[in-house]
Amino acid sequence: MAKLVAVTACPTGIAHTVMAAEALRRTAALMGHAIAVETQGSNGVQTPLSAADIAAADAVILATDIAVDDSRFVGKPILRTSTAAAIRDTKTVIGNALGHAPGAQPETAAPQPAPKPTPTAVRSPGLLVAITACPTGIAHTFMAAEALKQAAQAKGYRIKVETQGSVGAKNALTEEEIAEAEAVIIGADTHVATDRFSGKRLLKTSVGEALKQPARVIDEALALPAPAATGSTAAPAYAEAVSGAKARQKETQSGPYKHLLTGVSFMLPFVVAGGLLIALSFVFGIEAFKEPGTLPAALMQIGGEAAFGLMVPVLAGYIAYSIADRPGLAPGFIGGMLAAKIGAGFLGGIVAGFLAGYIARWLRDTIRLPQNLEGLKPVLIIPLLGTLAVGLLMVYVIGTPVAAIMNGLTAFLQSMTGANAVALGALLGAMMALDMGGPVNKAAYTFAVGLLASNTYTPMAAVMAAGMTPPLGLALATMVVPSRFTMQEREAGKAAGVLGLAFITEGAIPFAAKDPLRVIPAAMAGSAVAGALSMWFGCGLRAPHGGVFVLAIPNAVAPLGPYVLAIVAGTIVTTLGLMVLKRRVEADPAAAPALDTAAPTSSSPAPSGAGR
């Protein structure tokens, strides 16, 4: 019996980290080996390896998708692989690690299988660099990064992926890595600056394409013609013109939506912080903030006046930034502030943002100055003229009509009852589950978030309830009818449940991607029920995120009982839909060893044991 230690880690530390650790533990036990596994992720280090564990180990397995400190394993044979390989091909990973054990280090060992998990030891492959970014930077960003890493590894390339989102940039690319890279891939649904990639093959695509078709995206990037030499000024100018033409073509198709998502992604932290602070003020009583000088009054001032006061200007400012880069910031923020003061709300902010962005970009492309005065354009001329134009349009032309539309929409929504409210809730709910974090989902969420500033809270409650039910329903289904899911899906169901509780609809994506024609209709049915019931009960939510963790704050959701009932009902409907639509999985080779261990005398009790 060999003794092994392992570390598993993925960017979130939620799904792949735990699944890889469990797969290693079970398979090692079946093979008659002892193993201690440490997991690392966004929630810190779990089950840390002790010095005694490491000293007694015959080999070390690092199944990681992020950089981990390996200095404590000096002198031990180390096998490096990905969490996906540890989940899908666990026996091979453990076998390769044991193949290294008799030798000193993986590099000096001669066995042939070693190059598979560590291709860099066999040859020196080319380097690719990439950036992935979605509006929230929670799920799609990291999932697309992992997909690109796996596809690059399969093709024999090294890859460094920088992730960008509302939490900022992680795993940032260095100048040396960019200089060495053979190609650059931008898989993003928000604005990403590309100035630092001048002179490189550069492929721009969506985060969805990078997630669903990573191999094709890499092939397209490598197939791009090599950039022209920088020896003359004409060649770069031509290359820049071609890139600009391609960008304009893409912009006519999906540019406005991308700009809107960029504004929403920057606005979200203000809305979340403000909403939660407002909710905290209600802990002391629903009207306690009206007493001057008290803590509830201070919380309301911070959240309601400051954070929510910045919501519309930030939305407008970063829409303009996405369109025109930094020159659009000043006219965008000022136009958004005017929209808020006029009462045009988030609709006015969207209009001001697009106006500011396109005006600033037109000024940037139209105004021609001598080379020594060119630096005045982005800091003086464009902000001044752009702000003047946007401000006058908002004050004299656009602001008042948009404010009237916003007031009418708010009054209509606040007066909705009965069948109309149910229909709206069902529509918003179905939109949340249709693409689970995609454009339709984001449109429903943006609509609900924007209404918070107008004291309209019922759509937000419907949207969050509907967004929680797809992963919760799938998690419940993997436990109720485990025979309809593979072993890996049953393990993923546990992580999906946690993500659902936290209002991360993307937790259902792996299931939907594998079986969309059955999973998506069931998820839409459950989300529509959750949204409809939430609106029927008149539930209002003052915080735009947080899932069940917000429910613990008194008065953040009202009424609380019916709201929980709406979420439970939607989850049950999703589960029932999956029970009807999903088919029984045939013999699952990956699950067979675990099933034998759980119930060696019978195959029927095995699924419930595996799905505990």
List active site positions. Answer: 134
How many residues are there in the chain? 612
Q: Can you tell me the distance from the alpha carbon of 477 to that of 577, in angstroms, rounded to the nearest whole number?
A: 9
Residue type, 381: I
Tokens of 61: 């397995």
Contact 558, 521 (CB under 8 A): no
The tally of CA atoms less than 13 A away on the side-chain side of residue 392 is 6
- Is 557 in contact with 539 (CB distance < 8 Å)? yes
Question: Distances from the Cα of 509 to the Cαs of 357, 480, 490, in angstroms?
Answer: 33, 20, 14
* Torsion-angle region of 285 (φ positive above 0: left; ψ -120 to 50: alpha; else: beta): left
Query: Which ranges in 282-381 belong to alpha helices (H)?
Result: 295-300, 308-324, 329-342, 345-366, 376
| Rg of the chain in Å (alpha carbons) | 27
**Number of other residues whose CB lies within 10 A of the CB of residue 231:** 8
Measured between alpha carbons, how far is 56 from 341 in angstroms, rounded to an integer? 68
Give the pairing of strands 540-541 and 202-205.
unpaired
Spell out where 149-229 has E strands.
Answer: 158-164, 183-188, 202-205
CA distance 345 to 407: 9
Per-residue DSSP letters for 61-96? EEEESS----GGGTTS-EEEE-HHHHHHSHHHHHHH
Phi, psi torsion values for 428, nearest 5 degrees: -60, -40
* Joined tokens for residue 241: 């013109």
Mention every residue, 6+ apart, whose C-beta is less than 8 A from residue 422: 532, 535, 536
DSSP 201: -
Tell me the C-alpha distance between 49 and 39, whole Å: 9
Residue the block writes with tokens 């666990």: 90
Residue 204's φ and ψ, nearest 5 degrees, are -105, 130
The tokens describing 269, both together, are 């932290």
In angstroms, the first-to-last Cα distance of the chain is 28
**Phi and psi angles of residue 406, each rounded to the nearest 5 degrees, phi first:** -65, -45
Show Cβ contacts of residue 73 under 8 Å, excluding neighbours closer than 6 positions: 5, 54, 60
Tell me the one-letter amino acid at 287.
E
Structure tokens belonging to residue 371: 């080379």
Structure tokens, 68: 């981990």
Range list of β-strands (E), 85-220: 127-133, 158-164, 183-188, 202-205
* Alpha-carbon separation of residue 103 from 75, 96, 109, 521 (angstroms): 11, 12, 6, 54
3-state helix, strand, coil in the chain (%, to 5): 65, 10, 25
